[in-house]
Amino acid sequence: MDRKGTNILLAGVGGLGVITASNIIGTAAVKVGKKVSSAEVHGIAQRGGSVMGTVRIGDYSVSPLLGDGRADIILGFEPLEVLRNIARASKTTIVITDTTPIRVITPTRFIYPKLEDIFAEIQERCARLYKIDCLTLARKAGTAIVRPSVLLGALSEIEEFPIGAEVLLKTIEENVPARYKEANISAFKEGANFIRANL
């Protein structure tokens, strides 16, 4: 990990909640008195295009963007997008990723790689890889829309993550629509329980 703080990369596609999750992490960090810098990069399409967010927690006076090998934690909302950003990982990086592929429509023919090949390559480039079926756990919590909270719950159980689970969950509660509050809480707990069972 960076000696000045924690660098988190969030990778996914439009419509999966990457930016919302990035904002929640940053807000939670500010709540506990930490300095934060963040950035987001959108792909061509608003929905379905690549989306990347970065959150740097600590005393940073540099760009919020991350160079190669600088991510301490990668939070993956889509497996292939994690692989596309794997250059930012190092042998100390922890990767937590949804296992559900998003096969978007492209102008040219594209064959989605085998998931086992994607995960094998990711595993070679990081210290630990946690693969979570967020879609199944989100549906168990009430609705597929709360998939980001499954990942955030998983993140809260990682020792290297510098924010307590209670603060992160409270921040989620304050930033989601009221009608999805209980489902988000349940999804967060599902993600946390998954990591606790697989540590």
Q: How many domains does the chain contain in total?
A: 1
Ranges 23-27, 37-41, 181-185, 188-192: which has the least confidence = 37-41
Kindly give, in sequence order, each residue whose CB lies less than 8 Å from that of residue 109, ignoring residues fewer than 6 positions away.
Answer: none
| pLDDT for the residue 45 | 47
* Distance, CA of 180 to CA of 119 (rounded, Å): 31
The yes-or-no verdict on residue 157 having pLDDT over 80 is yes
pTM: 0.93
Calculate the CA 102 to chain-centre distance.
15
Give the model confidence (pLDDT) of 27-49 as tens digits.
Answer: 999 999 999 999 887 665 455 67
Give the model confidence (pLDDT) of 90-125 as tens digits.
Answer: 999 999 999 999 876 566 677 889 999 999 999 999
Give the model confidence (pLDDT) of 63-89 as tens digits.
Answer: 788 889 999 999 999 999 999 999 999
Give strand ranges (E) for 34-112: 36-42, 50-58, 73-76, 94-98
Residue whose entry in the numeric block shows the structure tokens 């990990």: 1
Residue whose entry in the numeric block shows the structure tokens 């950035």: 39
CATH number at residue 113: 3.40.920.10
62, 69, 84, 65: which is closest to 13 by C-alpha?
84
Cα dihedral 150, 32, 159, 185 in deg (nearest 10): -20
Kindly give, in sequence order, each residue whose CB lies less than 8 Å from that of residue 194, ignoring residues fewer than 6 positions away.
Answer: 130, 132, 137, 150, 153, 154
- Which residue segment(s) compose the domain that 70 sits in? 5-198
